[in-house]
Chains A and B, each alone.
Chain A
Amino acid sequence: MGEILFSDLWVKGWGAKLSASDIYRIAASKWEGDIVLVMDPDIGLGVTKRQTVYLDLWHGDCRDTRVATEEDEREATYVISASAHSWRGILEGSLDPIMALMRGRLTLKKGSLASLLPYTSAAKELVVAAREVETIFPEEWSK
């Protein structure tokens, strides 16, 4: 069993993995700012509506996680959006998160790109932790 992708329990599981990761703690030791991740709908991939999760990240700690509210999206330091196809590539390991950002497959909807880009090591460890969460993906992802 696992948790449904982008659900509240899934993002809490992700936060727990981050809190348990010494590598992430070191890589993100200077990271300041909460983040909202957005997965745009893709019927073909079984994502029927826009989904969002919130992570409060501060100096290597993950202080809070939840399904993001509208206020979270307004107030978060960073909002990063991608198609379900791109999230699938990132979570399955076929798409490097830094290359995804460089190529525009991940889009920074809110926040300063210049301030985010120095934290590529932290971003990679974020993704490593997400991949460790036992996840129930939409059935369409395995087709």
Chain B
Amino acid sequence: MRENFQTISNGLNRDHVMFRLWEKAKRLGIWNPTDIDFTGDIDDWKDATDSERDLTLHVTTLFLSGEEAVTLDLLPLIGVIAREGKLEEEMYLTSFLWEEAKHVDFFRRYLDEVMTDGGDLSRYHGDSYKTIFYDELPAAMGRLREDDSPLAQAEAAVTYNMVVEGMLAETGYHGWYQILEQNGLMPGMSQGIGFVQKDESRHLRFGIYLLSRLVAEYGDSVWEAVENKMTALFVPAIGIINELFDYQEALFGKVAFDLKRDDFVEYAMVQFQKRMDRIEKARSQTVEEILFREASDED
């Protein structure tokens, strides 16, 4: 039974940090994957060496299946937020899911129109990748259908936002974008990843916000759950980076584009540290301070 309507009793809180993020999503999240021109990418693909093609196919496969996973697994979290009546948060989350779906659209279109590999791409899914994307992510998110406790929400947000988006997607997109830009390659992929990165930065901001709110509201039990889940997922998360490099080295003796695995791992660690520092600050903040954080204090 519904007892009241926020919008007609109190209106929308346009100062809420999530409403401000919704405003940004409306302005910035409107790119269309179908509009991106892949003509230059098709030429680059023809000219690429075997190892460059394999690496490009490998990372594109990881990006695509990762985006499919986060698209399919997000709904239970939106359900929790809706059941709790957090309207401004749910309004932002509508853009979140739409953007994830566009990322799937973009990477699949790239595979269909630029690459010519017809094999089973799941060969690029190593043990660590399977741990995170086949087991941990659907389990943490699916749990929310029956358990919407603060601890379950925190563990879901750690898995989805901090590990999958914060450590893996952001690091992968950042590293791959740098390689494409430095080498002047695959302009369509580069442009699309640029859009994806901007979307993902908002998704991460939501994750940090949600975890901060939970820590501020429920205290150390949530903070400890955040730390424990991060510690448990850290090894398979870093393992995914190592698997990609190991695969290339085993096949070609070295990694295409002279990629360095430590560059990726160190970037992931630095980003992770900044976010954990940010969430830890919430231990001494009120929920009101989290909800109405100044724009200048955001990431």
Which label, helix, strand, loop or mixed, suits the secondary structure of the B interface?
Answer: helix
Q: Which of A84-143 contact B (CB under 8 A)?
A: 96, 98-99, 102-104, 112-114, 117-118, 120
* Residues B231 and A114 in contact, CB atoms below 8 Å apart: no
The 30 listed contacts between A and B (C-beta, < 8 Å) are A96-B227, A96-B231, A98-B231, A99-B230, A99-B231, A102-B230, A102-B231, A102-B234, A102-B269, A102-B272, A102-B273, A102-B276, A103-B273, A103-B276, A103-B277, A104-B269, A104-B273, A112-B261, A113-B266, A113-B269, A114-B241, A114-B242, A114-B261, A114-B262, A114-B264, A117-B234, A117-B265, A118-B238, A118-B239, A118-B242
* Residues A118 and B235 in contact, CB atoms below 8 Å apart: yes
Q: Which residues of A contact B245 (CB under 8 A)?
A: 114
Other contacts beyond A113-B262, A118-B238: 10, CB < 8 A: A98-B234, A102-B276, A103-B273, A103-B277, A104-B273, A114-B241, A114-B264, A117-B235, A117-B238, A117-B265
How far in angstroms is the closest Cβ of chain B from A58? Answer: 21
Which residue of A has the minimal Cβ distance to B266? A113
**Interface footprint category on A:** 10 to 19
Which B residues are within 8 Å of any A CB, using their own CB? 227, 230-231, 234-235, 238-239, 241-242, 245, 261-262, 264-266, 269, 272-273, 276-277
In whole angstroms, what is the CA distance A112 to B239 when docked? 14
The 7 closest A-B pairs by CB, nearest first: A114-B265, A114-B261, A117-B238, A104-B273, A113-B265, A114-B262, A120-B235
In whole angstroms, what is the CA distance A102 to B275 when docked? 11
In whole angstroms, what is the CA distance A104 to B269 when docked? 8
How far in angstroms is the closest Cβ of chain A from B276? Answer: 6
How far in angstroms is the closest Cβ of chain B from A52? Answer: 23
Q: Which residues of A contact B231 (CB under 8 A)?
A: 96, 98-99, 102
How far in angstroms is the closest Cβ of chain A from B288? Answer: 27
Most buried by B among A103, A112, A114, A118: A114
